[in-house]
Structure 1
């Protein structure tokens, strides 16, 4: 039996449709969208599912484990929070560990293209390589002994292990060799994000000129803004063409600066991410991010080693992307239409994915989030199947 959904609004990548009726066939595909046909008292809003381009894991597991069972669990967890597609994101580790993880993730990406994939799981479609080509000065919790100088040959080894699925890479442009690596990656259609960087404004601009397209978790692990030396942060906020991620959990960035980021980047260049780690969706306690220990308490994921030394260093987040969308509306007053685009349309645009990727059109998979009128996600359908 076909399934029929009615709503007050349908938010697609290109338009907002009032009072739609959406018909979904038995294969989970959208067969019709009829505007102005839903009951007048319809009280839900439909959007595309989300696309998280920066996540290290969740549900008690880290993507660096890279086994089929672990990646399936993470994929199910992502789907249960409104995500339809994601980029498993690595963390700085030894070269050997990174190669092994990339190989495992690549096999799962291949499997996600087949009929064997569980349609109620979010689909990994590429890899975000965060580290090891970052700044020691702004490494965050990335282990200092595993950071590598930017190296084209090493990147090529990583990409070969990943079967070409590295779609996004974080690079500190000021580190010697960084600009050459940015050019090399850009020439291969790998999008470059400047992050974990202590770059001056001139160094950040050089990275953008070389091909950098985005910025990794704006404000975090970046040189602070100064009115005489704006540094990388000043450039990120000022450059109209540069996309910029943000972790909208109220922990990594104060709500006032979330508002400033959205004003600066606008609804076309701002991207919501989670930077989630294994503890997302789990009770507070002790977890791992890559190969180092993290303690989670009061909604904050902190480096266990730094805590032992009396320091508090954030180690990813326990955020989910549906909560980020809700927080953005609450912190800034932005409508759901804007918040949803920041978590779906914009990351796909930054990566230059095929036209219509993740959009809701006739013939596309019915990957839908259902929101109440307060802008809170109530449930999700992946390929027409209700998963929560």
Structure 2
């Protein structure tokens, strides 16, 4: 099989290329004449990564049964996500551990590559769409049980830098190869940067959970966690997640981060919940009711008003299309959308090169075809 168009990759933009593949592996990439390319401009991108995703297609990873979670994973795959972590939320142990076991089954069958546990060791002051009743101080014994329940598939955990027993939690991350993602925090700059450097000394990969969201805004006299995490990324000690959907972050904020610390130190994520790919309406995230209105998910309240942003409704490819068509540097955008592959050590994807997996997004921006392992996704 083959596709022809302009390649957009982390290595650069290459017009007039024909990509061929067999048995799911790219076998050749050749330059062709402009007359051999489609009349309508077409772009070929590598499949993207999403390390923070709570569901889609009406299904929720933190609470739904196996078939529904499988459908959510395959929904995002069909929209260009070739590397996916399924995210849980803060839940009581009796609900969290069985759900980790369930999601591990989907990892073993290949529907996703791992699990991200968003909580429960975060700060209730910055709970966002997390259930404050389920948030608890850092508990290394519980974290060990979470790791066991996930059967080797827990790849990332969101921790507040100020949570109890952080050192012991980070030691478990180091032992099991788990990313420490700092977020849902009220920590100040010194506490946060110390946590990052402690993790780095232990050899733990660090990310920032949806930078700027669920943490204090940067103030010139109190820079807080957000500034510390940007500083850490600038020192190449961390990668920051950006929910670059125009809802969680203004587009100028996304441009600012990319131009300040570099696309390779950022990772676009969807933070998607069950409403991704669905109509406006009422949904559940963990144990909390969510209302989606005009594509924006917010917590429902008893008085009918809408509360905090409760996850996203986009796919990572939607964010790529948004920013490239708005004029951001295509190479920087696709770099940010594929950083997650590198963070997980997946060297067979995230670019378009001979010998790599044929995870390819072929798009005119209005018409898109997605190939996963060379197979057209529908």
Normalised by the length of structure 1, the TM-score is 0.89
Aligned partner of 1:100 in structure 2 is 98
Alignment length (residue pairs): 368
Q: Higher mean Cα deviation, 217-226 or 318-327? A: 318-327
Aligned partner of 1:350 in structure 2 is 343
Against the structure 1 CA distance between its residues 37 and 24, is the aligned structure 2 distance closer, same or farther, given a 3 Å change threshold? farther
**Pair 1:299 & 2:295 matched:** yes
Against the structure 1 CA distance between its residues 167 and 377, is the aligned structure 2 distance closer, same or farther, given a 3 Å change threshold? farther
What SS does structure 2 have at the residue aligned with 1:325? helix
Aligned partner of 2:360 in structure 1 is 368
CA displacement 1:48-81 (0-9 Å, x = unmatched):
1111110000100001235331122112210221
**Pair 1:166 & 2:172 matched:** no
Q: Higher mean Cα deviation, 30-39 or 227-236? A: 30-39
User: Aligned equivalents of 1:288 and 1:309: distance in 2?
Assistant: 16
What SS does structure 1 have at the residue aligned with 2:68? helix
Aligned partner of 1:336 in structure 2 is 330
CA displacement 1:101-130 (0-9 Å, x = unmatched):
110111111111xxxxxxxxxx40011110
Aligned partner of 2:177 in structure 1 is 189
Whether the 8 Å contact between 2:3 and 2:362 is mirrored in structure 1 is no
Which of 106, 109, 133 is residue 107 of structure 2 equivalent to?
A: 109
User: Aligned equivalents of 1:244 and 1:254: distance in 2?
Assistant: 16
**Pair 1:84 & 2:82 matched:** yes
1:84 deviates by 1.2
Whether the 8 Å contact between 2:180 and 2:206 is mirrored in structure 1 is yes
1:22-101 matches, within 5 Å, as 22-25=19-22, 27-36=23-32, 39=35, 41-42=37-38, 43-65=41-63, 67-101=65-99
User: Aligned equivalents of 2:100 and 2:350: distance in 1?
Assistant: 24
User: Aligned equivalents of 2:80 and 2:343: distance in 1?
Assistant: 20
Which of 213, 225, 236 is residue 229 of structure 2 equivalent to?
A: 236
Aligned partner of 1:288 in structure 2 is 284
Q: Gaps (5+ residues) in structure 2?
A: 200-204
1:261 deviates by 1.9
User: Aligned equivalents of 2:31 and 2:180: distance in 1?
Assistant: 39
Against the structure 1 CA distance between its residues 142 and 236, is the aligned structure 2 distance closer, same or farther, given a 3 Å change threshold? same
Q: Higher mean Cα deviation, 308-317 or 335-344? A: 308-317
CA displacement 1:228-253 (0-9 Å, x = unmatched):
12111111223311210111121111
Q: Gaps (5+ residues) in structure 1?
A: 113-122
Which of 294, 311, 316 is residue 321 of structure 1 equivalent to?
A: 316
What SS does structure 2 have at the residue aligned with 1:22? strand
- Cα RMSD after superposing both structures: 2.0
What SS does structure 2 have at the residue aligned with 1:167? strand
Aligned partner of 2:209 in structure 1 is 216
User: Aligned equivalents of 1:166 and 1:135: distance in 2?
Assistant: 21
What SS does structure 2 have at the residue aligned with 1:20? strand
Normalised by the length of structure 2, the TM-score is 0.91
Against the structure 1 CA distance between its residues 107 and 279, is the aligned structure 2 distance closer, same or farther, given a 3 Å change threshold? same
User: Aligned equivalents of 2:227 and 2:354: distance in 1?
Assistant: 42
What SS does structure 1 have at the residue aligned with 2:311? coil
Whether the 8 Å contact between 1:369 and 1:377 is mirrored in structure 2 is no
Against the structure 1 CA distance between its residues 66 and 299, is the aligned structure 2 distance closer, same or farther, given a 3 Å change threshold? closer
1:256 deviates by 2.4
**Pair 1:10 & 2:3 matched:** no
CA displacement 1:277-310 (0-9 Å, x = unmatched):
00111111110101211111122111113x6374
Whether the 8 Å contact between 1:243 and 1:271 is mirrored in structure 2 is yes
Against the structure 1 CA distance between its residues 60 and 232, is the aligned structure 2 distance closer, same or farther, given a 3 Å change threshold? same
What SS does structure 2 have at the residue aligned with 1:343? helix
Aligned partner of 2:202 in structure 1 is none
